[in-house]
Amino acid sequence: MTIFVVIGTKGGVGKSTVTMGLAIWLSQFDPKKHVLLIDGDLHVRSAELKMFPRHDVTLADVFSGKKPWQEAVYTCQLADKGGNILYPNLAGVPAGGRFLSPMKSESALAYLEYSRRVFNKMITVLRERYDTIIVDTPASVTYEHLILTAIADKILYVCEANDDSINATLATARGLEMFMNIEPAGVVLSKVPYNLDTRKWNTKAGKIARVLGVVPSDELVDDAFRDNLPVAAAYPNSPASMAIKNIAKKLTRFKTPAESEFPRRLEMAVKRVAEKVEGKKQ
């Protein structure tokens, strides 16, 4: 199995639209394979609100130590007009609110260490149960973002076709490479106007990683959001949805790693955070 973490350094680039679409399409390619979508975007919570709106336990509850992670996994609740579940082999973990520390002492390093232990147990089991895991992350970089990113086998970056978005994404990619040594799956150019010549922007985005696809600007994405639905479910044949489908096909070609690098990688990240904290104190 493979864990893909989706990162959009700037807000509003269409990251959650891409993430939800990928999860839906990957679950459609083979009904015998099981896909899990983890909504780690605690600020926006798009996947939670559109795909798993009825829940009692969230990822925030797991990180805070209030609930066991097993209670935070739900079958995707999108259904047809007859009430039939559309994607029975797609499950998800809703984000919830802020990931509050269960400790009285709000030490960032102590919280990271606690979260590392909790999340390590959770991901170890989920790796055995699901063929693919897709993780939606917040735009801002937080300690929780570090934990969510550390579980990645591959990172998928989403950015727009402009210098600000591409340069910010490039800086993030270089930082994560230094911090945790995670290889990118590729880059998605999102919300691209139909009349734009993408060759220049493909070249620029290619400095981050290989461009896997271009998702066009599509009014149906906004229409779907207004109906509180992901575009891949509301309008599966729309231009944006079909572009995401093609990207999902490319993700199926990635080789499954022999074993997870998560425990070692997060331990390394925590150590480097500690070094930076100690450096600031001196």
Domain 2-281, CATH: 3.40.50.300
pLDDT tens sequence across 8-47: 988 889 999 999 999 999 999 998 999 999 999 888 899 9
Distance CA 106, CA 220 (A): 44
pLDDT of residue 121: 87
Structure tokens that stand for 194 in this block: 């139909």
The domain spans of the chain are 2-281
Structure tokens that stand for 223 in this block: 């229409």
* Angle at the Cα of 204 from the Cα atoms of 160 and 269, rounded to 5 degrees: 75
For the chain, state the CA radius of gyration: 18
pLDDT of residue 192: 97
pTM of the model: 0.91
Distance CA 163, CA 127 (A): 37
Q: How confident is the model at residue 105 (pLDDT cuts 50, 70, 90)?
A: very low
Distance CA 188, CA 206 (A): 10
pLDDT tens sequence across 56-93: 999 988 888 889 999 999 999 999 989 999 999 999 99
* Angle at the Cα of 150 from the Cα atoms of 147 and 270, rounded to 5 degrees: 65
